[in-house]
Amino acid sequence: MRHDHSSLGIAAKRGFATGILAAVAIALTGISGSAAWSAPKDIRWGTGPVGSSGQKALVALATILDKEMPEYRITVMPTAGAVATVKGFATGEFDGYYGCRQRRLTSWS
What is the Cβ-side half-sphere exposure of residue 53, based on CA atoms within 13 angstroms? 4
Higher pLDDT, 83 or 105: 83
Domain 40-109 indexed as CATH 3.40.190.10: yes
The predicted pLDDT at position 107 comes to 52
Predicted confidence band of residue 97 (pLDDT cuts 50, 70, 90)? confident
The predicted pLDDT at position 54 comes to 85
The predicted pLDDT at position 79 comes to 93
Show me where the domains of the chain are located.
1-38, 40-109
Q: Is residue 48 within 8 Å of residue 89, measured between CB atoms?
A: no
Q: What is the pTM of this model?
A: 0.55
Whole-number Å distance between alpha carbons of 39 and 53: 31
Length of the chain: 109
The predicted pLDDT at position 1 comes to 53
Per residue in 10-39, pLDDT (tens digit) is 544 555 545 555 555 555 455 445 455 678
Per residue in 51-96, pLDDT (tens digit) is 988 889 889 999 999 999 999 999 999 999 889 998 999 999 999 8
